[in-house]
């Protein structure tokens, strides 16, 4: 890692340069996409994708209510309207039946033009892309895979970050492959989307950076992060992804009789950005979280407020009971410590402390 970072420092190619090209080629090859464009964050990656899809005011973009704010934020940044879709209580991912209901409702109301489905690979598990791509085709919509947490996941042999017309990921340190700061990437098989995003992420450049053919942004990954990511990808491929799956399987063995543990559907493979259990209610969760904290075991609630209840989206005036499963999950979920280097001794301690808390 030191060597990789110092190589960039001594080359002084801090912005763009050979490390970026190398990183983009390696990440595209790993997921099996034709193009990878590295950028400044997972949020920018989503925004670049919506710009490439030409999402504008008057367009409807479908997004799960149970996700990180950025998935929905970028829709409003483009001036379009987010339409919140509920999630499945078992996989935490977009509920395809509710998606079709929301598409139908939007068409019937006739005020917005349905344009894009943003499907999130929540906690590392790919969304149900077979069904989602089917609906997209039926209604003439683009699919944007928000793979910020999904990098490394699979459906059958196909890897996450290849399921959308455009797919994105984040390299924020807490994600399955994290860099040493902010970073993100866009993946696509379509040459025209790739050309557009290549231009958009460097001020809408044309033939060179002082020939500007469209309004773009400054969203480059910096070369030190690219160097870090090349080292991290090697470890991820060789053992981290396998090891984090062993940790997750062991949690499930130890806890499935005690709490509701996360479920990976047949044929799916998760990269376990989070290991998220469900407790019976908000009070039990608060007690368990406090008891774990008293034993120096950190936990987190992803996510306490679904998108349809965020203050920032008050202006949408959505109906009260829009996404009941998202509401219920917000009160019950708790994410336990997980990473490829968690020792069995630490994991035993976490599970014992959790069980003790539930029995008292
Ligand atoms: C983290 C995350 C993002 C945003 O990524 P950043 O790199 O932090 O901008 C978007 N969507 C989801 C689902 C995320 O978890």
Q: Quick one: pLDDT band at residue 78, thresholds 50, 70, 90?
A: very high
- Give the separation between CA 354 and CA 212, rounded to whole angstroms: 57
261 and 137: one domain?
Answer: no
Query: What six digits make up the tokens of 129?
Result: 């892309």
Distance 354 CA to ligand 1 centre (A): 29
* pLDDT greater than 80 at residue 209: no
Percentage of the chain beyond pLDDT 70 is 100
Q: Which of 95, 86, 87, 83 is nearest to 59 (CA)?
A: 83
* Domain CATH code at residue 354: 3.90.1150.10
pLDDT in tens, 88-121: 999 999 999 999 999 999 999 999 999 999 999 9
Q: How many helices (H) and strands (E) does the chain have?
A: 12, 12
Task: Look up tokens 């014992």; give the residue.
Answer: 352
Say which residues have a Cβ less than 8 Å from residue 67's Cβ, sequence separation at least 6: 120, 122, 146, 303, 307
* 5-40 per-position pLDDT tens digit: 999 999 999 999 999 999 999 999 999 999 999 999
Note whether 264 and 218 are within 8 A (CB): no
Instruction: Give the orientation angle of helix 42-52 with respect to helix 70-77, to 10 degrees.
Output: 40
143 token code pair? 């699919």
Total structural domains within the chain: 2
> Are 270 and 245 within 8 A, CB to CB?
yes
Confidence of residue 242 (pLDDT cuts 50, 70, 90): very high
Predicted pLDDT of residue 208: 81
Mean pLDDT of the chain: 97
Ligand 1 center from residue 47 Cα (angstroms)? 11
CATH number of domain containing 36: 3.40.640.10
Distance (angstroms) between ligand 1 centre and the Cα of 221 equals 15
**Distance (Å) from CA 358 to ligand 1 centroid:** 32
Among 148, 185, 326, residue to substitute to test ligand 1 (most atoms within 8 Å of Cβ): 148
Range of the domain at 137: 2-231
- Say yes or no to pLDDT of 286 above 90: yes
Residue 172 Cβ < 6 Å to ligand 1: yes
pLDDT grade, residue 320 (50/70/90)? confident
Cβ(146)–Cβ(168) under 8 Å? Answer: yes
Question: Cβ(99) to ligand 1 under 6 A?
Answer: no
DSSP state of 347: H
């Amino acid at each position: 890692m030191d060597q990789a970072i110092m190589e960039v420092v001594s080359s002084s190619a801090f912005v763009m340069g050979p490390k970026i090209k190398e990183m983009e080629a390696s990440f595209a090859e790993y997921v099996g996409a034709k193009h990878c464009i590295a950028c400044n964050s997972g949020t920018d990656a989503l925004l670049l994708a919506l710009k490439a899809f030409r999402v504008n005011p008057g367009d409807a973009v479908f997004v799960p209510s149970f996700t990180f704010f950025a998935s929905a934020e970028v829709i409003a940044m483009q001036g379009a309207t987010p339409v919140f879709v509920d999630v499945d209580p078992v996989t935490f991912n977009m509920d395809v039946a509710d998606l079709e209901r929301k598409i139908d409702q939007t068409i019937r109301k006739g005020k917005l033009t349905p344009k894009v489905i943003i499907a999130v690979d929540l906690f590392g598990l790919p969304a149900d892309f077979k069904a989602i791509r089917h609906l997209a085709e039926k209604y003439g919509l683009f699919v944007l895979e928000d793979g910020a947490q999904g990098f490394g996941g699979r459906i059958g042999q196909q890897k996450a970050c290849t399921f959308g017309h455009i797919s994105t990921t984040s390299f924020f340190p807490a994600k399955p492959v994290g860099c040493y700061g902010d970073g993100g990437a866009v993946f696509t098989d379509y040459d025209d989307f790739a050309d557009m995003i290549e231009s958009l992420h460097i001020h809408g450049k044309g033939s060179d950076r002082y020939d500007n053919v469209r309004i773009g942004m400054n969203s480059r990954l910096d070369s030190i992060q690219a160097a870090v990511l090349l080292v991290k990808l090697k470890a991820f491929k060789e053992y981290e992804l396998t090891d984090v799956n062993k940790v997750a399987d062991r949690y499930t063995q130890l806890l499935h009789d005690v709490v509701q543990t996360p479920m990976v559907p047949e044929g799916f493979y998760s990269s376990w950005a989070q290991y998220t259990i469900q407790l019976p209610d908000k009070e039990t969760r608060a007690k368990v979280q406090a008891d774990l904290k008293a034993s120096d075991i950190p936990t987190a609630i992803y996510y306490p407020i679904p998108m349809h209840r965020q203050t920032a989206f008050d202006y949408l005036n959505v109906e009260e009971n829009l996404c009941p499963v998202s509401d219920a999950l917000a009160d019950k979920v708790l994410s336990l410590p997980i990473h490829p280097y968690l020792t069995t001794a630490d994991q035993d301690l976490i599970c014992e402390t959790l069980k003790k808390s539930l029995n008292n």
